[in-house]
Amino acid sequence: MARRPLPRILSSGSAHITRSREMARSAADSATDVLHPLITITRGLRLLAGAGRRKWAATPKDRRGPALFLVAALVLVVALVPYGPLLALISVMAVAGWQGRDRTPSRTGPDEAELQRLRSLYEALVPYFSLPEDPNPLFAHGGEWEKAFDEYEFDADGRLTRLRVSYPPYFMDGEHSSRVRIEHLMYAKSGRGREYLFDWDEEGNELVMSVLPPLPTGIAAQRFVTAPGETVLGFTDAGAVRRTVPVREGDETRDAPPVLWRTGARSTEPHLLAVGRPGSGTTSLLRSIALQALPHGDVVIVEGGGTGEYASLDGRTGVLAVERGLSGALAGLEWAANETERRLIAANRARQSGHAVPEDTKRPLWLLLDRPSAFAHVAAADGRPDPQELLHVPLRHGRAANVTVVVAEQFETLDALSETVRTHTRARVVLGAATREELESVLGAPPHTIPTPDIPTGRGYARLGTGPVLRLQVPATPDPYDDATSDAHRRAVLELLPDRHTPLHGSTAATTRAPEPGPEPAASAPPAPDPEPGPPAQPRSRHQRQSPAPVPAAVPAEG
């Protein structure tokens, strides 16, 4: 099915410039096709004129007079012969067309180096695609590789870019281990350092190996054209998804295929888990998600690493808290659990009474946790609960309450995640270098490609629920306060940040006001400017809570 691009809003001149360039390029290509005979004849006339000048320069001076007389006599004879000038013109045009033709030799097959590469690959596949009992083997030592390799393409360096392999029906292509052996062998023989896609056709007994182009890394954080409840995790290959969105890449605007994650009450994968190694880009992914969520919802950030990567979001409108310590993390997540219960109770009472769901339960609430396992040993040493235990209610009931949980963790501490987090985060992202076993353990299915050893920041794989494994490149969303950030990326992130609603006085939590009680639950208002900090809210127990708990006056800060 063809991809349907979304309608773009041409609010700047970059889209007009891009369209003008495309039209000019199309017009130039059409003109070249139409005027190709004229271009060929002109090139031939230029070559004939150059040959004539060289011939005249090589003629001795004592012979130039007779040569001129002979040429003049020929011109006179041609002029006097009936239809002579017309025949002469046709002859000159024919000679010019012959001389101006494209003389680049066309390749009819692979050269010697490419033939040797195909033969070596064929011989390497013989032990895997042959059996001693086969009377007419398709793969045999010294056999005809042309029968097994139906289609092949090479790049300018003589390395394979596409290969179609026919294998015998008795090969066990349904076993994952058998496929992995063939893929690793073809990857090693075809050239390392590139990412290959392996497409197995079990019905036709064919394997197509192709080299994938690198995903673009120049797409920075920006406002993406998405529907409510959709978040752009990154961008993937053109044929992997059915949809495109307009994006700015440098000074140009083009359509790119996104990996869209849908959240909300009708989402099948309401929570996400991102895994990677240090420097792989998981923090940039969480920062990108926060910038996309802030225009329509509220965000609570818990940073277990304590490196201050989210300092640019501290005190912004919609950011309820940025917690970097254990006390703040416990208080913020406890408030989130109480808020989830309050939303569920309010929505349930509204439905039982036949009223619409209160507006304050519809505004999305995002809980972004970066390395929550870092608090586990500190909590155990202080005799306090692990903050992950407070995620039980948001994870189980977050879909109905419009509460979304995003957890980012490293491979080294992946075992420290609780079973609740692992069970309810069915949308998965893996960034950075990882083995096939690690990818399969996190995503639940192996990718159809072999990743390269050198992976840029933000490159990896994504799988939403039981969907296919997609290649992913996260939009560049670095920390704008980092000195190593480029000016273009810094401006892109700063333009997306909301205004500050409260001055920062060393506090990592932004205060919010509770809605006024009334006959109907009121909509949750954005935090008021410069509020007075109140005392830490004391959550009630389940036995004391007789009515929907209001939003607490403040999320306590880490002392």
Distance CA 98, CA 253 (A): 44
pLDDT, residue 32, reads 66
Q: What is the pTM of this model?
A: 0.72
Q: List the one residue out of 419, 266, 265 whose CA is nearest residue 344.
A: 265
128, containing H or E segment: none
**Phi, psi at 340, each rounded to 5°:** -65, -45
421, containing H or E segment: helix 419-424
Distance CA 182, CA 127 (A): 11
443-482 burial string, b = 16+ CB within 10 Å, else e? beebbbbbbbeebebbbbbbbbeeeebbbbbbbbbbbbee
Return the structure tokens found at 66: 């007779």
CATH class of 230-546: alpha beta
Cβ neighbors of 526 (< 8 A, separation 6 or more) are 317, 318, 501
Q: Along the 559 residues of the chain, how does pLDDT read in single tens digits?
A: 444 554 444 444 455 565 666 677 777 767 666 777 888 888 888 888 888 888 888 888 888 888 888 888 888 888 888 888 888 888 888 888 887 776 665 555 677 888 899 999 999 999 999 998 988 899 999 888 989 998 899 888 888 899 999 999 999 988 888 999 999 999 988 887 788 999 999 999 999 999 998 898 899 999 999 998 999 999 999 888 989 999 999 889 999 999 999 998 889 999 999 999 999 999 999 999 999 999 999 999 999 988 889 999 999 999 999 999 999 999 999 999 999 999 999 999 999 999 999 998 999 999 999 999 999 989 999 899 999 999 999 999 999 999 999 999 999 999 999 999 999 999 999 999 898 889 999 999 988 888 777 888 999 999 999 999 999 999 999 999 999 899 999 999 999 999 987 554 443 444 333 343 333 443 343 344 444 333 334 343 333 333 334 434 334 444 3
Angstrom CA distances, 471 to 258, 263, 542, 546, stand at 10, 20, 45, 49
277 known member of a binding site:
yes
In the block, residue with structure tokens 């992976």: 455
Distance CA 237, CA 258 (A): 9
Return the structure tokens found at 15: 């889209």
Distance CA 323, CA 509 (A): 7
Which residues of the chain form CATH 3.40.50.300?
230-546
pLDDT, residue 502, reads 59
Contacts of range 318-323, beta carbons closer than 8 Å, 24 or more positions apart: 318/294, 318/498, 318/526, 319/290, 319/294, 319/498, 319/510, 320/509, 320/510, 320/512, 320/527, 320/555, 321/508, 321/509, 321/510, 321/555, 321/557, 322/508, 322/509, 322/510, 323/508, 323/509, 323/557, 323/558
Q: What are the residue ranges of helices labelled H in 307-357?
A: 326-352
pLDDT, residue 312, reads 93
Contact by Cβ (8 Å): 479, 287: yes
pLDDT, residue 17, reads 61
Contact by Cβ (8 Å): 288, 474: yes
Contact by Cβ (8 Å): 406, 337: no
278 known member of a binding site:
yes
Cβ neighbors of 514 (< 8 A, separation 6 or more) are 550, 551, 552, 553
142 known member of a binding site:
no
pLDDT, residue 150, reads 87
Strand 149-154 vs strand 160-166: parallel, antiparallel, or unpaired? antiparallel
In the block, residue with structure tokens 């410069």: 530
Distance CA 184, CA 450 (A): 8
59 known member of a binding site:
no
Tell me the three state secondary structure of residue 154. Answer: strand
> Is the sign of the CA dihedral 268, 272, 276, 279 positive or negative?
positive
Give the strand order in the sheet containing 449-450.
149-154, 160-166, 206-211, 196-201, 449-450
279 known member of a binding site:
yes
Per-residue pLDDT of 222-247, as tens digits, reads: 999 999 899 999 999 988 898 999 99
pLDDT, residue 191, reads 81
Contact by Cβ (8 Å): 111, 165: no
Contact by Cβ (8 Å): 283, 360: no
Q: List the one residue out of 478, 474, 417, 476 whose CA is nearest residue 442.
A: 417
428 known member of a binding site:
no
**Phi, psi at 511, each rounded to 5°:** -85, 150
Angle at alpha carbon of residue 139, lines to 138 and 140, rounded to 5°:
120
